[in-house]
Chains A and B, each alone.
Chain A
């Protein structure tokens, strides 16, 4: 044949190429490709795990944020309640103080009234006594001058 083309040698080359293709596929191509696929799968799993952990962390963060927001509200409410209680207590104390003051004033007024009445009664009694004595003396004709002197003496004693 032209160019020394030989069908038998071509077939031998085919056989050689078939052996090479099969051998290289089994010895090199497939094992390396399998390893690359395995590594890709490994890193894909790692990526998924990382994404899952990130999502979980975000969920926990959101949960704690919600709790934190709740705590703020709770603190706000507690503060409002405390202020209300203080206000109530102050008002109670004030009312009590006012009541006590009113009672003290009333008591003082009562005491003053009683004192005034007692003094008045004693003055009236003294006046009646004096009037009785004067009447008695007038009735028994006593010298008015002596009587006056006697009364004056008695008055000084009384003042002392």
Chain B
């Protein structure tokens, strides 16, 4: 089957697809942000919508008892809940409205700094553009088409919805005698070795042996001992705990 040479060329040019977004600080440090896509954002929005709906319903029931005065208050509160709910939560709660909090998302500036008043107001006022012509059509299309999953409000305000980084759990390594690696390892390879040891429990026994067998020759050990040897090196890399 003949391969399209143009397609092959372009593939060689473009880097592998990844969901990470790289921000370089002035100090030359790369921050890795993980922008959140349409599905979690839609779910977070649905949760927020539900909360707001319930809030308004409760308010109307309570304030309805107060007659016209109550309705006046309710109108003011309706304005606040509609236009300020997201802004206030985002600015005062580290970029997290309740829905985003549940889904593990937060809003930040493009450079990874916490979102401020101007950006938050812009992105939430421009919801109106995203809603056009009905039911967030433009927002959905923009979100699907943008490499960092931004809707139009995000593009205008220079903000990004990212996954929050959670503290990783302390890994448990299989018991093995700590060993020095017989060859130099770069960071990626060290991580892979540690990952092999840490995730051993979630891999099947055969798969573990298969993976370890790849490195049996450079380690100069028989295939059966390779796994144990790799676990030992991982322990050595981890250091005393």
Q: Do A and B come from one complex?
A: no
